[in-house]
Amino acid sequence: MNITQESDYAIRAVLILAKNLEKDILDARTICELGNVPLRFLLKLLRKLTKAGIIKSYRGVNGGYALAKAPIDINLKDIIEAIEGPITINRCLYDKDTCSAGKGDNCAIHAALYDVQSKMISELEKINFEDLKRNKW
């Protein structure tokens, strides 16, 4: 599994919103400038984050974006899955029929990789945006 540039930018955007809660709503251009993210790319990410319920979108002259949840209730796993889809380190873990060894559920490699994947997901869930904005990492 690779965290793409898209996920990296999305994480930056959510962290910017978490750090600017007192301003409530930030427009896309401000997020773009603070995060050094290309505007057109950022808009695509903000749509995905809105669809996932992580941020809220406000229309109009004073429109923009704000967190839909408290920063402590948003973690890295949430952002990565909103952008990339389910986190899997091997396709066999989400589709047993793709096992090149033809073993499906009965494969020691799958079991070992599933354990690694579970630990990685657990670690991503531990990192919330309240801690990130306070530089606890």
Segment 18-39 shows an average pLDDT of: 92
Q: What is the pLDDT of residues 76-114, one digit of tens each?
A: 999 999 999 988 887 666 666 666 666 656 677 777 888
The whole-model pTM stands at 0.86
Give the contacts of 35 (CB within 8 A, at least 6 positions apart). 9, 12, 13, 16, 42
Q: Give the domains, in start order, of the chain with CATH numbers.
A: 5-133 (1.10.10.10)
